[in-house]
Structure 1
Amino acid sequence: MQFGWSADEAAAQAVMDAFVEAGGNLIDTADIYTVWSEKGDNPGGVSEEIIGRWMKSRRNRDQVVIATKVRGAMGVRGSEGRNSPYQREGLSRKWILKACEDSLQRLGVDYIDLYQVHWVDNQVPIEETLSALTDLVRRGYVRYIGCSNFSAWRLMQALWSSDKHGYESFVSIQPEYSLVAPTRYNFEHEIARVCETYGLGIIPYSPLAAGFLTGKYRRDQPLPQSVRAQEITHRRYSEQNWNILDKVLEIAGQRNAHPAQVALAWLLAKPQMTAPIVGANTVAQLKDLMPAAELKLSAEEFQALEEVSGWQRSRTELER
């Protein structure tokens, strides 16, 4: 989501080059990235276009797994900084088929490896959405389908509908999930059990809590220069989250590691985890993150992070 926003095309291509060189192969984007950018007119699709030009110039389509999403409103920004009101959005059959066609064109590919619904559309029956996605898979335009930002009951509804009607089924979910409160609770309270029971891959976004767990935010200190700084202050500043950050920094110091590596290593130690999604504006930032794949927390370190970020489970939940 940084590409075309906080990272221009040259920076994005350098980051992707470094990512692949380090052994990475999954690149996740969305059609609406990055309509919120204030850098001129941005109708969405800019990130997909950057990734598409990069794959074409590197001739590496077969070496990367491309994941993108559908749901949000596309279109040029209006004079007041909002999407033009005539733009359509949602998860109707008509919009999904058109959006997929557009994403394929922007990416310059014949198929999308993982096509995800970005969030729920309350105006469209889940059966209509799954039927359209199934048609895309059977036509060869999409390999697998997934979802993002679904609650546990919505996820179960989709899995049940696929089973009942013979539709393609979601193979993954992309939730917000990290050590910080309340995102850990939001995921582990119910969704994690659904994923474990039905074998869904978990590819969480914002595993570093929009940068909060990188160590650049500190108690009683001025905000760093960041396009996401205000989001951090509104959503992350709490006593528990400061305590979580303190523990992350403590372990990072003991292991001579970057704080972000510790936060990512905690996620990777979760048995049901597939791959946290990281974002980088520069190659230097990426190089701070990638060693997390090799960082193995001790049982004591893992438990310390579990306890400081813990949430109170009810007796009913504990007995499940």
Structure 2
Amino acid sequence: MEYRLLGASGLKVPVLSLGTGTFGGRGELFAAWGQTDVAEARRLVDVCLDAGLNLFDSADIYSDGAAEEILGAAIKTRRDQVLISTKATFRHGSGINDVGSSRYALIRAVDRALRRLGTDYIDLFQLHGFDAATPVEETLRTLDDLITAGKIRYLGCSNFSGWHLMKSLAVSARYGWARYVAHQAYYSLVGREYEWELMPLALDQQVGGVIWSPLGWGRLTGRIRRGQPLPSSSRLQSPVAASLGPQVPENDLFQVIDALDAVAAETGKTIPQIALNWLLQRPSVSTVIIGARDERQLRENLGSLGWSLSPEQIATLDQASAVPKIYPYWHQAGFQERNPFPTGDSR
């Protein structure tokens, strides 16, 4: 396993981390992801730790809290061997204030997460989304207080736009509060918008990319093929899961799959392994969150490590996955001398 620093922090994280969205299976959305119980979760944690993968990502809304509970049970007696990442901001209760990133909501959300996880601290706590109804100062002061209280060790955010993240970093700097060192963002071969603004910002401000849905919301598993019906086990069979995830035009998807097939023939690797390996070579990426319904999927995803795509293979995938940019990014791309593609190394 390779480890990288998480943004502008001293914390080293594995380049692959395990997401727990498949734990629990409560509700239509998460049932479409998976229904891993405690016994299977323990086995997945065993496999991960044997491979050096020690970071596990969850959220309070995953299966209405069940994912955190199952993760807590799976790591019981070995808390000191793992890093726990979890998230809050979206509605997590029926109360009028059980949503958002207010002081009230965040303190309650963190305390509830600690109880479900069976721990007294969270290694990386991330806002699941931006809360425009709460002053940024209130949110960041609360998070800083939670760090001082020892309940949180590092801060991150998720699904922020560039200005959300930059404003937050500026407020933290102004008051000397703890800053976001991670941004959990969507990025895949069929979703490269992260490169347009969030990647340059991450490199400039040293915010580590924590990548979610690296296989394009289940599209790059190798089981989706042109002219064939969706596999019965695909999350895209669920109208709720399909509508809530990133949208990808079919022509764009199959153009990428064709390129992946070509690289697979050259490397002997599977489509998921190639898609993950491509991400691991992108600037600003600290860790890529993999999901697994079972041990077979987990081991296949772990097979993305220990080798590298060639520059020519990366160029093939880059070309196949390129899509027209929106303004102002297409305009900036026309002036490569002043706005070159981001380069850098998060390690």
TM over 0.5: yes
SS at match of 1:213: coil
Task: Choose from 296, 299, 319 the match for 1:287.
Answer: 299
- TM-score normalised by length of structure 2: 0.82
Asked if residue 25 in structure 1 is aligned to residue 64 in structure 2, the reply is: no
Task: Answer whether contact 2:42 2:75 (CA < 8 A) is retained.
Answer: no
Task: Answer whether contact 2:97 2:105 (CA < 8 A) is retained.
Answer: no
Match of 2:262? Answer: 250
Match of 2:36? Answer: 8
SS at match of 1:217: coil
Structure 1 unmatched runs, 5+? 35-43, 76-83
How big is each residue's C-alpha offset from its partner over 1:180-224, in whole Å with a ceiling of 9 and x where there is no partner? 0xx20x211101000000111111100001221111111110110
Tell me which protein shows more strand as a share of its residues.
2
Match of 1:72? Answer: 90
Structure-2 separation of matches of 1:309 and 1:165: 41
Asked if residue 156 in structure 1 is aligned to residue 204 in structure 2, the reply is: no
Asked if residue 307 in structure 1 is aligned to residue 319 in structure 2, the reply is: yes
* 1:315 CA displacement: 4.4
- TM-score normalised by length of structure 1: 0.89
How big is each residue's C-alpha offset from its partner over 1:30-80, in whole Å with a ceiling of 9 and x where there is no partner? 01111xxxxxxxxx2111111111111xx22111110000112124xxxxx
Structure 2 unmatched runs, 5+? 1-20, 26-33, 340-347
Task: Choose from 51, 61, 72 the match for 1:52.
Answer: 72
Mean alpha-carbon deviation: is it higher for 248-257 or for 60-69?
248-257
Letter paired with 2:36? D
Task: Choose from 177, 191, 196 the match for 2:198.
Answer: 191
Asked if residue 177 in structure 1 is aligned to residue 187 in structure 2, the reply is: yes
SS at match of 2:56: strand
Match of 1:207? Answer: 214
What RMSD over aligned residues (CA atoms) do the two structures have, in Å? 1.7
Letter paired with 2:81? Q
Change beyond 3 A, Cα 1:206–1:169: same
Structure-1 separation of matches of 2:55 and 2:36: 20
Task: Choose from 322, 325, 332 the match for 1:316.
Answer: 332
Change beyond 3 A, Cα 1:229–1:315: closer
Task: Answer whether contact 1:113 1:144 (CA < 8 A) is retained.
Answer: yes
Structure-2 separation of matches of 1:53 and 1:159: 35
* 1:227 CA displacement: 5.2
Letter paired with 2:90? G
Structure-2 separation of matches of 1:254 and 1:190: 33
* 1:13 CA displacement: 2.2
Structure-2 separation of matches of 1:227 and 1:105: 32
* 1:273 CA displacement: 1.3
SS at match of 1:53: helix
SS at match of 1:203: strand
Letter paired with 1:147? C
Match of 1:79? Answer: none
Asked if residue 275 in structure 1 is aligned to residue 287 in structure 2, the reply is: yes
Match of 2:124? Answer: 114
Structure-2 separation of matches of 1:13 and 1:108: 15
Structure-2 separation of matches of 1:253 and 1:125: 52
SS at match of 1:15: helix
Asked if residue 91 in structure 1 is aligned to residue 101 in structure 2, the reply is: yes
